[in-house]
Amino acid sequence: MNKEFFELQPEKVADACVIWLHGLGADRYDFLPVAEVLLQTLKTTRFVFPQAPTRPVTINGGYAMPSWYDIKAMSPARSIDEEQLEASAQSVIALVEKQREAGIDPNRIFLAGFSQGGAVVLHAAFLRWQGPLGGVLALSTYAPTFNENVQLSASQQRIPVLCLHGQYDDVVQNAMGRSAYEQLKQWGVTATWQEYPMTHEVLPEEIRDIGVWLSDRLR
């Protein structure tokens, strides 16, 4: 088994793929139960779960844990290690390329990320990747590298995004997620915002909505 990622294969031959990044302190198996539910309807979709490196996280007292990038401070705005985020985004792009080389159409490759993982996939999809993608799932996340001076390419503008966030999120404030969504809309991206009565977590209702969104794009 590859130590850097885990793959969940569908029963039928895969013709689509979701690359799903976990949050801070979690691991590549964190969203495996969610994918197992989604596979009940997405019968030709492969799920790929990368593993973040284990490294010290400043806001957690320097304790080493799986993290896509170091968070140095929480306020007034989050201070992060952008070089580490960039490296994580490049690892995601490498996985996209790997799926493309395996025969998956990039229009059927999706990037998904929860919390810190979502920040990485938003950066990868809209600030680095230059080809088509099936879409992005941004779960309880934010976009620390977005700014108004960025100019998206036509292919980037065509990448749909589903932004999902808890109304009572006490880790990544709802307003932070909303700000990322609003920036996507300003760029002309087809983005959808959905809130749930939850904190920093995932609800069954949210999983159902993700399944519907993916199915609509994989017809």
Class of domain 5-53+79-217: alpha beta
Q: Which residues contact 192 (CB under 8 A, 6 or more apart)?
A: 160, 161, 162, 163, 213
Known active-site residue 115? yes
Identity of the residue numbered 108: R
Q: What is the pLDDT along the chain (219 residues), one digit of tens a residue?
A: 345 789 999 999 999 999 999 999 999 999 999 999 999 999 999 999 999 999 999 999 999 999 999 999 987 678 999 999 999 999 999 999 999 999 999 999 999 999 999 999 999 999 999 999 999 999 999 999 999 889 999 999 999 999 999 999 999 999 999 999 999 999 999 999 999 999 999 999 999 999 999 999 998
Residue ranges covered by each domain of the chain:
5-53+79-217
**Residue among 115, 123, 140, 165 flagged as catalytic:** 115
Do 132 and 158 contact (CB within 8 A), yes or no?
A: yes
Q: Which residues contact 22 (CB under 8 A, 6 or more apart)?
A: 28, 30, 31, 49, 51, 52, 66, 114, 117
Known active-site residue 123? no
Q: Which residues contact 91 (CB under 8 A, 6 or more apart)?
A: 4, 50
Do 22 and 28 contact (CB within 8 A), yes or no?
A: yes
- pLDDT score, position 2: 41
Model's pTM, two decimal places?
0.96
**Residue among 15, 81, 179, 200 flagged as catalytic:** 200
Do 57 and 80 contact (CB within 8 A), yes or no?
A: no
